[in-house]
């Protein structure tokens, strides 16, 4: 589950606490190419305000109209408070009507957000970097939360919807220079939780980016205390072996899904030899190091290099084969 969907739940919770009625919509099945994958979420408020998306904008207007009409006609009928199914693009005519850009079809589960206790608990557990399975029973609207295991996928059998949430993707940057600032800014836009470690006081003033947290301590201690998991990326950008190597020796032994370091091809060879000799890293651990960091874009400026670094992190995060190209915004079912 993407961090975006946690944001959807967070905003839905805030709306309910402010006295609004809210409906949650989840993609449960797609056919052909679809703009959003199964599990993607949308929250619709009683006045039509939305958070998230289920189709990249194709069917949201219809969902807003449906939801607003349902809230206006709401009664005490229990059946109106239960989850229901909605399908779009089941025919060529309907796909054309709603403008599904990739020729796909969607099945959605729509549920009124009545009990907010489970949302509060789920957000607390994912904030603590937990992995949570949420099970929704369509016949009753009951929600159950349980600890999930890494690799679990969303499941839907027509009566029960099981989704996995959290934790939020994290990016730890070693170094607070100009390049780190650019990477931090772009990663924040992608909804990463961005942490920056740089014990050099000369760079402390450069960490004024909104939403970016400075972590105090030496790089090796910071990486150990972070306990990197499969939702964590670590990139060393100081160009100072004394700092970068300290972070890398811990990061390469961790469960971080991405570990990268700035430097030329020649410098990376020297770095790997140094790490192997002085820090007892195995060939398999050294093979995890992305270096030179970033995609080969011919980048020259700090902003261009930042684009290449963040793009490679996203590529690895999404397990994309770089030799296979897909249409942006379309998920092939």
pLDDT confidence of 321, banded at 50, 70, 90?
confident
Going 203 to 204 to 206 to 207, the CA torsion angle's sign is positive
Q: What is the pLDDT of residues 170-217, one digit of tens each?
A: 999 999 999 999 999 999 999 899 999 999 888 777 666 667 888 999
pLDDT at 119 over 80: yes
pTM of the model: 0.74
Average pLDDT across the chain, whole number:
86
pLDDT at 262 over 80: yes
Tell me what pLDDT residue 297 has.
Answer: 93
Query: How far is it, in rounded angstroms, from Cα 95 to Cα 89?
Result: 4
Tell me what pLDDT residue 333 has.
Answer: 46
Tell me what pLDDT residue 324 has.
Answer: 57
Tell me what pLDDT residue 332 has.
Answer: 45
Tell me what pLDDT residue 94 has.
Answer: 57
pLDDT at 317 over 50: yes
The residue among 38, 50, 42 whose CA lies nearest residue 5 is: 42
Instruction: Look at 97 and 288; give whichever has higher pLDDT.
Output: 288
Q: What is the dihedral of CA 215, 4, 168, 235, to 10 degrees?
A: -60
Instruction: Look at 143 and 330; give whichever has higher pLDDT.
Output: 143
Strand order in the sheet with 258-261: 212-214, 193-197, 170-174, 232-236, 258-261, 289-290
Ranges 68-77, 102-111, 128-137: which has the least confidence: 68-77
Tell me what pLDDT residue 151 has.
Answer: 76
Q: What is the pLDDT of residues 61-79, one digit of tens each?
A: 888 988 888 887 765 554 4
């Amino acid at each position: 589950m993407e961090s975006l969907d946690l944001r959807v739940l967070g905003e839905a919770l805030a709306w309910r606490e402010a006295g609004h009625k809210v409906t949650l919509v989840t993609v449960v099945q797609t056919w052909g190419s679809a703009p959003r994958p199964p599990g993607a979420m949308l929250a619709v408020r009683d006045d039509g305000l939305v958070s998230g998306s289920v189709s990249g904008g194709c069917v949201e207007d219809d969902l807003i109209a449906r939801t607003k009409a349902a809230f206006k006609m709401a009664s005490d009928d229990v059946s109106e408070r239960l989850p229901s199914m909605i399908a779009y693009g089941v025919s060529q005519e309907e796909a054309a009507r709603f403008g599904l850009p990739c020729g796909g079809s969607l099945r959605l589960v729509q549920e009124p957000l009545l009990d907010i206790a489970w949302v509060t608990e789920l957000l607390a557990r994912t904030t603590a970097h937990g992995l949570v399975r949420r099970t929704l029973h369509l016949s009753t609207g009951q929600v159950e939360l349980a600890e999930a295991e890494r690799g679990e996928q969303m499941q839907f059998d027509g009566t029960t919807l099981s989704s996995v949430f959290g934790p939020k993707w994290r990016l730890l940057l070693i170094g607070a220079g100009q390049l780190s600032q650019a990477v931090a800014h772009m990663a924040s836009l992608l909804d990463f939780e961005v942490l920056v470690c740089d014990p050099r006081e000369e760079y402390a003033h450069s960490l004024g980016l909104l939403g970016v947290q400075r972590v105090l301590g030496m790089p090796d201690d910071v990486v150990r205390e972070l306990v990197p998991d499969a939702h964590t990326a670590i990139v060393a950008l100081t160009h100072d072996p004394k700092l970068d190597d300290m972070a890398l020796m811990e990061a390469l032994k961790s469960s971080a899904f991405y570990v990268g370091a700035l430097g030329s091809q020649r410098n990376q060879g020297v770095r790997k030899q140094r790490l192997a000799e002085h820090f007892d890293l195995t060939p398999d651990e050294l093979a995890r190091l992305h270096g030179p960091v970033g995609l080969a874009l011919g980048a020259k400026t700090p902003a261009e290099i930042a684009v290449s670094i963040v793009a490679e992190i996203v590529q690895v995060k999404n397990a994309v084969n770089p030799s296979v190209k897909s249409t942006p915004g379309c998920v092939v079912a």
